[in-house]
Amino acid sequence: MSDNNLPLSRPSLGEEEIGEILDVIQSGWITSGPRVKRFEEEFSRYVGARHAVAVNSCTAALHVALLAHGIGAGDEVITSSMTWSATANMIEVLGAKPVFADVDRQTLQVTPETVSAVMTERTRAILPVHFAGQSCDLDGLAGLAASHGLTIIQDAAHAVGTEFCGRRIGGGDLTACFSFHPIKNITTGEGGMITTDSDELADKFRLLRFHGVNRDAWSRYGKIDSPRYETVTPGWKYNLTDLQAALGIHQLAKLDGFIERRTHLAELYRDQLAGIDGVKPLGPASGTSRHAWHLFVVTIEADQFGCDRDRFMQLMAQQGVGTGLHFTAVHLHEHYRSRYGYALGDIPNTEWASDRVVSLPLFPRMSDADVTRVCEAIRTIKRGIS
């Protein structure tokens, strides 16, 4: 790629992260230790939860959260098909069945109505995906869950810093799973976090992320009161390292600034795209009091624009502009089609979106002029085909 290309996303890492990484290396302790502890404490304070448990991806977070909530064979978990495969995959690997609720076309979120429509007597949990940085109707979903005795586990991979009715996603007692993959609003290279107010769940998360051994490596080697350890349950190896947490600590401190910048860029996009037929940004999700602007997603209406989404992405690449596809409907992927027999028409709004969504470049270090460039590229393409 030439220097002149504009990527979909690029992480914003700086001197603070570099300095902290050097300190970690010089400290001699590079795996899970004091930096992870500090990152967890600062993250739990930021979202307003009693506990934040760091893991090495959001996929791991979802796995551990589902396990800790007791989801297993025979259970149904209602989720969105407008998501990254990991959301459904983690339900599937536990032997449970992902049941896909349709999304609202304006926001691409599941709603209490669409979730309600697919509930059965085997439903055990609701796993909503807060799409693109807005929140689902959490109160509506929590009410539904409470009245049917269901658990809520949030896929908050897009929602670091998102607020619903003035409350941060991840705060309170509903389990939330976050991602720190490089494309996400803050990054640790790879990484994730699970938040909850429950002491009991937090203990389970910690146990399952580290071998099912009831003390992690740092407390075993760092603070020796007893050298003994005990395998309580067969667990996984999902711990975050201090090298990664070194990034996370400084990324978290910069998050509000990142979101401010993303919000400004999103407003520019909305102004400049307003006159282009066939390119439509998503609409606001009611209840979302702070949009974290993880992604700037538009839908391409082929009849009006002149070409479909796939062609649009190719033509944008030719203009030197990177785009992203978040997401193609999970229920139409090979495994889910063949296992559950899904066919086109089964989940109509999700399929509608799956054919039309495209993410435009959005990251804090983009300039205002970069937004203009993207919108100019779109106009150029439209002129070229009409």
Ligand X SMILES: *Cc1c(COP(=O)(O)O)cnc(C)c1O
β partners of residue 163: 168, 290
CB of 333 to ligand X, least distance (A): 14
Provide the token pair at 69: 């909530």
According to DSSP, the β-strands at 123-127 and 151-155 are: parallel
CB of 63 to ligand X, least distance (A): 9
Which stretches of 69-198 are DSSP H helices? Answer: 85-93, 112-117, 138-148
Rounded CA-CA distance 171/175 in Å is 9
CB of 295 to ligand X, least distance (A): 9
Give Cβ neighbours of residue 145 (< 8 Å, ≥ 6 apart). 126, 151, 152
Rounded CA-CA distance 26/22 in Å is 6
Binding ligand X (rule: CB under 6 A), the pick from 32, 81, 83, 114 is 83
Using CB under 6 A as the binding rule, the residues of this chain from 116 to 135 that contact ligand X are 129
268 versus 298: smaller Cβ distance to ligand X: 298
Q: Are 161 and 47 in contact (CB under 8 A)?
A: no
Does residue number 84 form part of the binding site for ligand X (CB under 6 A)?
yes
Give Cβ neighbours of residue 19 (< 8 Å, ≥ 6 apart). none
Kindly indicate which of the ranges 42-50, 84-92, 105-113, 202-210 contains the residues binding ligand X, using the contact rule CB under 6 A.
Answer: 84-92
Binding ligand X (rule: CB under 6 A), the pick from 181, 264, 333, 337 is 181
Kindly indicate which of the ranges 155-163, 212-220, 264-272, 331-339 contains the residues binding ligand X, using the contact rule CB under 6 A.
Answer: 155-163
Distance of CA 107 to the CA centre of its chain: 15
Measured CA to CA in angstroms, residue 130 lies from 107, 177, 220 at distances of 10, 11, 37
Does residue number 79 form part of the binding site for ligand X (CB under 6 A)?
no
Binding ligand X (rule: CB under 6 A), the pick from 35, 63, 97, 158 is 158
Rounded CA-CA distance 17/245 in Å is 10
Binding ligand X (rule: CB under 6 A), the pick from 40, 92, 137, 155 is 155
Long-range pairs for 271-277: beta carbons < 8 A, 24 or more residues apart = 272/371, 272/372, 272/375, 273/298, 273/375, 273/378, 276/305, 276/375, 276/378, 276/379, 276/382, 277/301, 277/304, 277/305, 277/382
44 versus 59: smaller Cβ distance to ligand X: 59
238 versus 305: smaller Cβ distance to ligand X: 238
| Site map 29..68 versus ligand X, x via CB under 6 A | ----------------------------xxx---------
Annotation marks residue 184 as catalytic:
yes
Does residue number 160 form part of the binding site for ligand X (CB under 6 A)?
no
Binding ligand X (rule: CB under 6 A), the pick from 87, 188, 299, 359 is 87
- Nearest residue to ligand X by CB is 58
CB of 179 to ligand X, least distance (A): 3
Rounded CA-CA distance 386/383 in Å is 5
Rounded CA-CA distance 271/267 in Å is 6
CB of 108 to ligand X, least distance (A): 11
Binding ligand X (rule: CB under 6 A), the pick from 86, 103, 259, 377 is 86
CB of 270 to ligand X, least distance (A): 22
- Of 184, 254, 280, 382, which residue is the catalytic one? 184
> Which of 269, 203, 207, 254 is CA-nearest to residue 12?
254
Q: Which are the catalytic amino acids?
A: 184
Footprint on this chain of ligand X (rule: CB under 6 A): 57-59, 83-84, 86-87, 129, 155, 157-158, 179, 181, 192
